[in-house]
A and B are shown apart, each in its own frame.
Chain A
Amino acid sequence: AQSVTQLGSHVSVSEGALVLLRCNYSSSVPPYLFWYVQYPNQGLQLLLKYTTGATLVKGINGFEAEFKKSETSFHLTKPSAHMSDAAEYFCAVFRDDKIIFGKGTRLHILP
């Protein structure tokens, strides 16, 4: 069973606009959640993670995500998109001693 579901395989936003990438997780998994980013021809790098504590998590490059248990969601946001944000974004969950990734969302930034 899919542990995380990312809504939208491609998302396009204008430079300066709000970025919203959606992720829902299976309620059967512990809420250890992550967002990773993959720039072209590179490996993934961690943007942010939620394990315990504050439900609003701040990450690198101005990104943040909010853990909402009632909605089983962990959406990624950034107030103002920059051209350098164009990349593939992966939501992930820790389960069965491993990190399982969603299918990814390609973020396109329009000039």
Chain B
Amino acid sequence: DTAVSQTPKYLVTQMGNDKSIKCEQNLGHDTMYWYKQDSKKFLKIMFSYNNKELIINETVPNRFSPKSPDKAHLNLHINSLELGDSAVYFCASSHSGSYNSPLHFGNGTRLTVT
């Protein structure tokens, strides 16, 4: 049973296109995140949601729009894709965003913009 699942696993698209990545968790967690990992493996938080409410919104271009239809799902829509958006995007979840609750990660979505 996959705990945090992301789709698609790979996404290849051209500049200017719009794409979405979906994430679902079956751990019963109430907090979900999007992280971006660049080619040097640096991992940076983008957004987090707690019970469908946006609580962390880092300095991310407004072409990136997260949406949480319920606390088990968090999607990421990206408009007007640029070359610099190429990266691996990870969804994660935790309980209440507490320091005592570890992050559970999906296996990532590798986005390549050509």
Contact = CB atoms under 8 A, between A and B. Distances in A.
Interface residues of A, number: 24
Contacts of A78: none
A94 B41 contact: no
B7 interface: no
B48 to A, nearest CB: 7
Contacts of A106: 41
Interface stretch (B12-20, B62-70, B78-86, B96-104): B96-104
Interface residues of B, number: 23
Nearest to A95: B99
A10 B37 CA distance: 17
A30 B92 CA distance: 22
Contacts of A34: 102
Contacts, number: 52
Contacts of A88: 41
B103 A99 contact: yes
B33 to A, nearest CB: 8
Contacts of A74: none
Contacts of B45: 98-100
A34 B100 CA distance: 10
A46 B92 CA distance: 12
A90 interface: yes
B27 interface: no
Contacts of B103: 36, 44, 46, 99
Interface of A: 30, 32, 34, 36, 38, 41-46, 49, 51, 88, 90, 94, 97-101, 103-104, 106
Interface of B: 4, 33, 40-45, 48, 55-56, 90, 92, 97, 99-100, 102-108
5 contacts: A36-B103, A97-B55, A97-B97, A98-B45, A99-B45
Given A32-B99, A94-B99, 7 more contacts: A30-B99, A44-B43, A45-B105, A46-B102, A99-B45, A101-B43, A101-B44
Query: Which 3 pairs from chain A and chain B are nearest by CB?
Result: A43-B105, A94-B99, A46-B102
